[in-house]
Structure 1
Amino acid sequence: MTWVIILVGVIALLVGVAIGFFVARKYMMTYLKKNPPINEQMLKMMMMQMGMKPSQKKINQMMNAMNKQTGK
């Protein structure tokens, strides 16, 4: 009788992990769609707000540095 309780507990745990994974995946996809990662246009605007005159070379250097840091 105790093995049935243990089996039900293990199955419930596995189902919970699977459901949690898919819910978290769906949430992250929705979040990234609403809040996309930084792109060149955003970077250019940030540099202009800081009082810099962004050149395309500088923007490309910063984008490459950010991509390298995130592992893309």
Structure 2
Amino acid sequence: MNLALAITLIIVALILGLVGGFFAARQYMMKYLKDNPPINEQMLRMMMAQMGRKPSEKQVKQMMAQMNRVQEKPGKLK
């Protein structure tokens, strides 16, 4: 009886650890990406310059706002 209880507790602890670890890692990555976005204004300017465009400040702000909107609602792409 004790062996079955021990095995059951080990399996339950393993499952709880996996679920808890998944959600903790997910929360960490979401916070990291919010604090350190993959593309910033300087990178956007550099990309547009490489494409042969000289973006105005208004264009850069519009594109950053659009990317932030998409990042806020990842399930709803228009």
Residue ranges of structure 2 left out of the alignment (5+ in a row): 74-78
Equivalent residues in 2 for 1:2-21, closer than 5 Å: 3-4=4-5, 5-19=7-21
- 1:36, CA displacement in angstroms? 5.2
Q: Deviation of residue 62 (structure 1)? A: 0.5
The runs of 5 or more residues in structure 1 that have no matched partner are: none
Which residue matches 1:64?
65
Structure 2: distance between partners of 1:65 and 1:44: 15
Q: How far 1:28 moved relative to its partner?
A: 4.5
TM-score of the two chains, using structure 2 as the length reference: 0.62
Structure 1 residues 42 and 51: alpha-carbon distance in aligned structure 2, compared to 1, 3 A threshold = same
Q: Equivalents in 2 of 1:10, 1:17: separation in Å?
A: 11
Aligned residues with identical type, % of pairs? 58
May I ask how many residue pairs the two structures share in their alignment? Answer: 67
When residues 50 and 56 of structure 1 are mapped into structure 2, their CA distance, relative to the original with a 3 A threshold, is: same
Question: Structure 1 residues 20 and 71 mapped into 2: Cα distance closer, same or farther (>3 Å)?
Answer: closer
Given the alignment of the two structures, is residue 39 of structure 1 paired with residue 40 of structure 2, yes or no? yes
Q: Label 1:36 to 1:68 Cα distance change in 2 as closer, same or farther (>3 A).
A: closer
Give the alignment's TM-score, normalised by structure 1.
0.66
Q: Which deviations, in whole Å up to 9, do the C-alpha atoms of 1:22-55 show, x marking residues without a partner?
A: 5x46x959x86xx851110100000000011110
